[in-house]
A and B are shown apart, each in its own frame.
Chain A
Amino acid sequence: MAIINQATKELQVKIVYYGPAMGGKTTNLVQVHDHVQTAAGNKGKLVSLATSSDRTLFFDFLPIEAMTIRGFKTKFQLYTVPGQVIYNTTRQLVLRGVDGIVFVADSQFEKMPENVESFQNLMDNLQSLKLNLHDIPYVLQYNKRDLPNVAPMEYMEFLLNNREVQVPSFSATAHRCEGVFETLNMITRLLLHKFINQSVPQYA
């Protein structure tokens, strides 16, 4: 849960990038880290707990300090989860205290079953933490749109965004930084909407 620290005048928010293995979650964080425009010292180190073959083992972590809102410094902590099926316990740990989620789907046709499975896994893991996806701001990112074998956006919307309330979705080519900031800004916007609408926000 977000921390609003009245003592240090800070708002801390946790955003988790979720999705199937090799979908581009880590690439999103790398691109944000490399291209974000921040004041000196406001961008932390990108920490990756990865295997020797660069697959995420535990999580990637990027702290960024953004603009000040009414005297409060806003600190965003961006996490990714390991996508591989065997690391489900790790995904549950990283989801603890999540405020917003970016679901990074792989647009390649043959990856559709993995996308659907990963989304179902997200809902299951939230349920195990007594959380409900409908209570948490989230956005969808359809990544790898530069590849030749991608599914149409409408088809991906039908598979992943076919609920009572449709959430914002973005096409992206994360390795070229296309769609990365649009996605991040939208989840930020949804999170701030949520804080504004909450009568009693979270404190620390």
Chain B
Amino acid sequence: MATLPQITEEDIQKLDETLREFNTSADATVSLIIDKAGFLITHQGDSDEFDLTTIAALASGAFMANQTIAGLVSETTFNSTYQQGENQSLFVTNVDDHCLLVVIFKSDTGVGVVKYYAITAVKRIARQLKIARKRAPDESLDLSMLNVADTQYFFRKKEKEPGGKKRQ
């Protein structure tokens, strides 16, 4: 299975810049670049009221499900979904084999505007990811110092007092 490229801080800065410009042009509330496995890579915009981790997971699942449905009805050009809401709407479009662009925007903003500016943004994002892909990986996360035996209690269960009360 093909993998995501190495993305450095510089890549993220350029991706964020693209998202900021896109948000301004399209009047989007928040835009996200996500991995098709459901991970959030980066985002820009006013995200305080949104649970972006969950949105990323659900948006990738919904997009992939719709793409599969499109395939079942012999539609081969499927590359975006649009959820029309009363207050906020959601537009998800394909970037490349691994990533999606998710846009949350106020429903009084026309989806046409979002789609129009998304075309340019997607090209820029894809281009940056392509550059990242060509770059040889020269950094790595050194986990070698970690004592893996310690992960026995990586996740701990809450303990209870003998009387059944939870510890403070």
Question: Which residues of A are in contact with B by a Cβ distance under 8 Å?
Answer: 1, 3-8, 11-12, 14, 32, 35-37, 44-45, 47, 49, 58-59, 61, 63-64, 66-67, 69-70, 72, 75, 77, 79, 89-90, 93-94, 96-98, 129-131, 177, 180-181, 184-185, 188-189, 192-193, 195-196, 200-204
- B36: chain A residues at CB < 8 Å are 96-97
Pick 17 A–B contacts, CB within 8 A, sort by A: A1-B1, A3-B35, A7-B11, A44-B53, A49-B58, A61-B54, A63-B54, A64-B155, A70-B143, A79-B57, A89-B68, A96-B36, A184-B154, A193-B148, A202-B4, A203-B137, A204-B5
How many A-B contacts at CB < 8 Å in the complex?
150
- A63: chain B residues at CB < 8 Å are 53-54, 57
A97→B9 contact, CB < 8 A? no
Question: Which residues of B are in contact with A by a Cβ distance under 8 Å?
Answer: 1, 3-9, 11-13, 35-39, 41-42, 51, 53-54, 57-58, 61, 64-65, 68, 137, 139-146, 148, 151-159
B39→A77 contact, CB < 8 A? yes
A188→B151 contact, CB < 8 A? yes
A7→B12 contact, CB < 8 A? yes
Given A3-B39, A129-B1, A90 and B155 contact (CB-CB distance below 8 Å): no
- Of B7, B37, B65, B153, the residue contacting A203 (CB under 8 A) is B7
Measured CB to CB, the closest approach of chain B to A192, in angstroms, equals 5
- A96: chain B residues at CB < 8 Å are 36-37, 64
Q: How far is the CA of A103 from the CA of B140 in the complex (A)?
A: 30
Given A36-B157, A59-B61, A14 and B39 contact (CB-CB distance below 8 Å): yes
Residue of A nearest to B146 (CB): A69
- Of A11, A75, A177, A185, the residue contacting B141 (CB under 8 A) is A11
B145→A70 contact, CB < 8 A? yes
Residue of A nearest to B154 (CB): A188
Which 8 A-B pairs give the minimum distances between C-beta atoms? A97-B37, A203-B6, A7-B12, A37-B156, A7-B9, A189-B151, A188-B154, A196-B143
- A77: chain B residues at CB < 8 Å are 38-39, 53, 57
